[in-house]
Chains A and B, each alone.
Chain A
Amino acid sequence: MTIFSLVIFSFIIISFNSSANDLIKKEQENISFSPVRLLIPVINISANIQTLGTNSKGEMEVPTNIADVGLFKFGAIPGRIGSAVIAGHFNGKNNQEGVFFNLDKLKVGDKLSVEDKTGKSITFMVQKIELYDSGYADNVFNQNDGVHLNLVTCDGLWDEAKKSYSKRLVIFSDILKE
């Protein structure tokens, strides 16, 4: 009985160490990861990733064209602990559909991925979909309890006075554990 218990205990310790080591290894691999493309097959998105900071209004900047998306450069890098945030246009000046025009078609459980220039990719799964008022939304940017990738675009009604849509659609996704 004692030997049997020892064997089981050793097995548990080895398994725990192995999975902890895998996680550490994965995190170390992701440190050098630099995403250049966002892929969301379910809504036919394959977009170049720009890097974005903040503008003079204190807003996250937006991509310079409606085909690309933009990663918030002061936040987490996709694949590392924290909230990486990617924004994309809902529409263009002449009403063309922006890269995230169909973002509202995503559903919980859908997969998306980011890819670096070598073709290495990290896959995420949609966890929840929420609408926010325009303005501050700290929890979109600052969750440190996992490896998150959040997508943002405009939604709601156009406010001519503010030159902005009334809402922001946020897709929260978490890294897919293989």
Chain B
Amino acid sequence: MDSNTVTGPTCASTSTASTSSSNSEVAIAYCPPIADTVVTPMIIESKRVDKDSVYIKWGPYSGVDTFNVEYGFENGKWLFNTNVTGFFTTINDLPSNRPIWIRVAARNDCQIGVYGEPKFVGSPRLPNTGFAPQKNNLFIFINQIKNWFL
């Protein structure tokens, strides 16, 4: 994972120590790791919602429903992250019509699992590369006739 990414465990510590004047009793708060049975999440659906939002959905369910979602404008540069409970989210307040890269990992209170394959999300509409055909242009007219039969 990128060392600049701020996705450290939200659990402040995996163990706590306390002392008393009477004895040196140590209390350990157990923090379970992500289970081996948890499958690395895969983005299974994505779409642009509007000019500054994208929607993603992932799966499969394998025992956890809490996830960390990382995203950025280049693959590998994960500038932002958010925690999600559930299997879908909408990311808002993005630069207008700008696609992003997203990846998802299972998480618990102490640990973030392995991130799934990054996905390029929010791609633009296909470009409009044509102008109105002129009726007197034979080539354009023939092309249109050809398309009627396709």
Mark A residues whose CB is within 8 Å of B. 52, 54-62, 72, 74-75, 82-83, 87-95, 97-98, 100-101, 131-132, 134-138, 140-142, 144, 152-158, 160, 163-165, 167-168, 170
Contacts and interface: CB of A to CB of B under 8 A. Distances in A.
Given A74-B98, A136-B47, A158 B130 contact: yes
A58 B130 contact: no
B126 A54 contact: no
A165 B127 CA distance: 10
B123 A142 contact: yes
A134 B147 contact: no
Interface stretch (B23-31, B77-85, B105-113, B133-141): B133-141
Contacts, number: 126
Shortest 9 CB-CB contacts between residues of A and residues of B: A141-B123, A154-B130, A142-B120, A54-B97, A60-B127, A168-B126, A59-B125, A90-B130, A87-B127
A95 B137 contact: yes
A165 B131 CA distance: 8
A135 to B, nearest CB: 5
Contacts of A75: 99, 120, 123
B123 A57 contact: no
A57 B125 contact: yes
B13 interface: no
A56 to B, nearest CB: 8
A60 B124 contact: yes
B65 interface: no
Interface of B: 46-48, 51, 73, 75, 96-99, 117-121, 123-134, 137, 139-140, 144, 147-148, 150
Contacts of A72: 124
Contacts of B144: 157-158
A53 to B, nearest CB: 8
Contacts of B126: 59-60, 132, 134-137, 140, 152, 168, 170
Contacts of A156: 147
Contacts of A88: 129
B140 A95 contact: yes
21 contacts: A52-B127, A54-B96, A56-B97, A58-B48, A59-B126, A74-B73, A88-B129, A91-B131, A95-B134, A98-B129, A100-B129, A131-B150, A134-B126, A135-B126, A141-B123, A141-B124, A142-B120, A153-B129, A154-B129, A163-B132, A165-B128
